[in-house]
Chains A and B, each alone.
Chain A
Amino acid sequence: MQILQLAYDGIVIGALYALVGLGVVIVFRTTNVLNFAQGAIAATAAYTAATLIAENGLPYPVAVVVALVVGALTGVALGALLAYVLPRTTPLEKSVVTLGFSLTLGWANRMLFTDQPQVIPRVFNIQIHIGDAVIGGHGIFVIAVAAVALGATFWLLERTRLGLAMRSLSQDETTARMYGVSVGRVTIATWGIASALGALSGVLVGSFIQVDHSIMTTILIQSFAALVLGGFGSTGGAIAGGLLLGIASSFVAGFGSPAFKNTFVFAIILVVLIVRPYGLLGKPALVVAEGSGATHRAPALPIPNSWRRPRWLLGLLVGVAAIVALPWIPQPFPLVTFSVLLATAAVAVSLSLFMGYAGEFSLGHGALVTLGAYVAGIAARELTGISFPLVLLIATVGTALLGALLGWITLRLSGVYFAIATLALTFVVTEVALQVRDLTGGAIGTPVPPPVLFGVPLTSDLQVYYLVAGAFIILALGASALLRSRLGRYWVAIRDAPVAAAAMGVAVSRQKVVAFAVSSGIAGFGGALLGTVVTHVGPFDFGLLWSITLILAVIVGGSGSIPGAVFGAAFVVLVPVALSRTAGLADAIFGISLVIVFIIAPGGLPAIASRATEWLMARQAGRTRTAWGSTDAVD
């Protein structure tokens, strides 16, 4: 009878995955945006329902309807933000904005509701016993509601004019407009329906498990996995994938160990991507490489041309001088903050190269950093007196190999799969680190002993600062050399016009894998530095939130730029220190700044710099003209 119990549990949870996943698919199919805020929206709805019932005494159905409306409106607000405030951003950038929105919404939830997890009372508390199996009334209720909602959505998408309009929009906005599709209305409808589905899942989940922000994130990841399983493009695939994954993970938890649930999910993702990249129900894509123009909008940073260019050399010298002189300049922060900053900058460089040149974004850099930090800790503990450069080398090569493997599996496919795989990696690394306690110290983590250079352990903050500074400068020089190499030219070609790159013989997906492997290696390098600076590493230190913050650093600094990476790292490291960690406020600020950067300065720091130069030149030209104001007339 255990089988019956597990199957039933699996169907209930699978129905919830399907609800969340279907919402994600609807948005993705219409706008090509991967909505990472779906989890936060679901949490908002769940909090709303719980508060209305517990504090305002509203009856369940009323509270649920209000919660669904709130959820839908939140989603519509996000959709409107993307469509009207950020109309010219790429789908990739819009997906990043949903991450920022998710952060901000999480903070708002904490402010508006409570820090405490919430419970929504169950509607049907009856239990049916079949042998050993207990079939809960609420589970049946969940299955029934989900079935109705999924059926209605399916009908809406496949059988109505609205569904048709949504599909036409995803193909080609201009053509859709020509045929009289109101883009605004369809966008609003899309986000509304999708978010209502997410909200519904939040409300239903809230009766099983306590509602908090992280629960919904976990469910979101599971539902992403379900989408990979079912095939990202299809509605039916979302539902089938959700049920399949729900049942499968229920059996794994029942017969195996629930501690490896995410790892199991990750393994499924990878296997499906290897065997059937387009999902179990999906169809292979017809268009191998898109025939239209490049999507990259940010200013095309030129390859740094020559080492001998005086301006470049001057910049380098000023940068190095600033780094060397910093400990002797009076300033408000403790020195270790700057060691963290430079180590973070190293990781930002890694992500910046990848985002700037391969044009994809990774949510797994936190996981790679965690690995690098563990390598530093474990290597120094097990091999006492090991030289720090060797530690860096091990961390770099190890993470680079992992990156190569992950990239090889996922980067042949569209960026969505890659983003999801890297997201899953984050949770796998945490899970594994929690389980292999002998090596990692479990939840408490493991200390990272002081680095040893030429047989001498470096213990003072100053020594460690200079060690990190030296490592960073070497890394920055290495990265610029890389960009000047043939590899760098391939990456520029892929960034500027991927289609032409493919046509002119660049193996685009292989080069993306190489770029991710290199990026992963540098992330591991930065992770070893970070672990060494902080002198400790645990499974939760560099989680999803950290990865998102890193993306922000890269976007603020301008992806592809090395000085920009330092600037971005300074932003994300110093802001929380300056706000002295007011709970969650830094997250909210980061989330909002992500949006603001896209509005005022897409392209980040380099774009601001080049615009400022243009403006200055225009002003100067203007001044010259006024000074010689009469020449026009003479001519």
Chain B
Amino acid sequence: MLSIEGLTVAFGGLRAVDDFSLEIDRGIVLGLIGPNGAGKSTTINAITGFVRPTQGRISLAGKPLAGRSPQEILRAGLARTFQQAQLWAGMTVSQNLALPLEALGRSRASAHEVGEVAERLGIGDLLGLRPSALPFGRRRLVEIGRAIITKPAVVLLDEPGAGLTSAEKANLSRVMRDLAAADTSVLLVDHDMELVMNSCDQVVVLNAGRRLAAGLPKDIREDPAVIAAYLGTSQP
């Protein structure tokens, strides 16, 4: 489905992502983990057109995407969220959710789709509010809603679990499983091992821009190289 081959992103002398390859199949949740500064966000930025890859191929269902604008990439079926909250403060939740549809010229059915997505995420009662009036966890959900409303083939979530309560994380996990069941693949970047282990079908570990390991969550959890590079340092 989404395939990344030999992706390299260099900032001056620093190779934030270094010859990294990744394949995401249809309808799965794939965890991309790694210590701070490993290059996870940069990978997402490169995939979605925010950073120009120095090298490498990116394609979605065979269609090449490297070098395209964020707008074209969204249209092709890739949507994302950001590590730092990025809601539009001057608009209500429903306007926030509807704008991507408007921007892609699909505003006709927007009221219906906004309602549907909001129900799916359990924020149906918040549509008339502004983001500043919402608790933090709900804002994160609105961001996810904004990303999935265009029905992308793959949605890339950059640390959606950061700052959530455990109940909210459980809900997030359910949302991601639902998405996968409905054939939307999820790339989950997060530092919370429990969230990753509970939600993901596969996990890829990135360290200093390079792939360190890949496999099933339970194997990754026990991989000594991963533990040494990452799990052993701060996480249980």
A residues sitting closer than 8 Å to B (CB atoms) are 286-294, 300-303, 486, 489-490, 492-493, 495-497, 499-507
Contacts and interface: CB of A to CB of B under 8 A. Distances in A.
A500 B82 contact: yes
B91 interface: yes
B50 A502 contact: yes
Given A289-B50, A506-B99, A500 B90 contact: no
Given A291-B41, A291-B45, A493-B99, A507 B71 contact: yes
A303 B70 contact: no
B156 to A, nearest CB: 10
Interface string B79-115: 1101011111111000100011011100100000000
Contacts of B99: 489-490, 493, 504, 506
Q: Which of A293, A302, A490, A505 has the most CB of B within 10 A?
A: A505
Contact of A500 (B51, B88, B102, B150): B88
Contacts of A301: 90
Contacts of B54: 286
Interface in B35-92: 41, 45, 48-52, 54, 69-71, 74-75, 79-80, 82, 84-91
Interface string B22-45: 000000000000000000010001
B146 interface: yes
10 contacts: A288-B49, A289-B49, A289-B70, A300-B90, A302-B130, A303-B90, A492-B90, A503-B70, A505-B75, A507-B69
A505 B88 contact: no
- Listed from nearest, the 9 A-B pairs whose CB atoms lie closest are A505-B103, A500-B86, A300-B89, A504-B100, A496-B88, A300-B90, A497-B86, A492-B90, A502-B70
Nearest to A504: B100
Contacts of B85: 293
Given A503-B80, A505-B150, 15 more contacts: A291-B45, A293-B84, A303-B91, A486-B102, A489-B102, A492-B90, A495-B90, A496-B88, A497-B87, A497-B89, A502-B71, A503-B82, A503-B86, A504-B74, A504-B146
B74 A505 contact: yes
A291 B11 CA distance: 14
Contacts of B70: 288-289, 502-503, 505
> Chain A binding site: helix, strand, loop or mixed by DSSP?
loop
Contact of A496 (B89, B102, B104, B107): B89
Interface of B: 11, 41, 45, 48-52, 54, 69-71, 74-75, 79-80, 82, 84-91, 95, 99-100, 102-104, 107, 130, 146-147, 150
A330 B59 CA distance: 71
Given A496-B90, A497-B86, A505 B71 contact: yes
A489 B100 contact: no
A561 to B, nearest CB: 12
B50 A288 contact: yes
Contact of A506 (B50, B71, B147): B71
A293 B86 contact: yes
A291 B74 contact: no
Contact of B82 (A288, A489, A493, A499): A499
A287 B50 contact: yes
Contacts of A289: 49-50, 70
A492 B86 contact: no
A505 B11 contact: no
Nearest to B84: A293
Contacts of B11: 286
Nearest to B95: A489
A263 B168 CA distance: 61
A514 to B, nearest CB: 13
Q: Which of A289, A290, A500, A502 has the most CB of B within 10 A?
A: A500
A493 B89 CA distance: 8
Given A291-B41, A294-B86, A492 B103 contact: no
A528 B219 CA distance: 73
A493 B84 CA distance: 16
Nearest to A496: B88
Contacts of B48: 503
A499 B95 contact: no
Contacts of A300: 89-90
A294 B41 CA distance: 17
Nearest to A497: B86
Nearest to A509: B69
Contacts of B104: 505
Given A301-B90, A493-B88, A504 B51 contact: no
A288 B100 contact: no
A275 B48 CA distance: 26
Nearest to B48: A503
A468 B234 CA distance: 67
A379 to B, nearest CB: 38
A291 B82 contact: yes
Nearest to A502: B70
Given A287-B51, A291-B45, A499 B86 contact: yes
Contacts of B45: 291
A506 B103 contact: yes
A566 to B, nearest CB: 21
Contacts of B74: 503-505
A152 B75 CA distance: 51
A301 B100 CA distance: 21
A300 B133 CA distance: 13
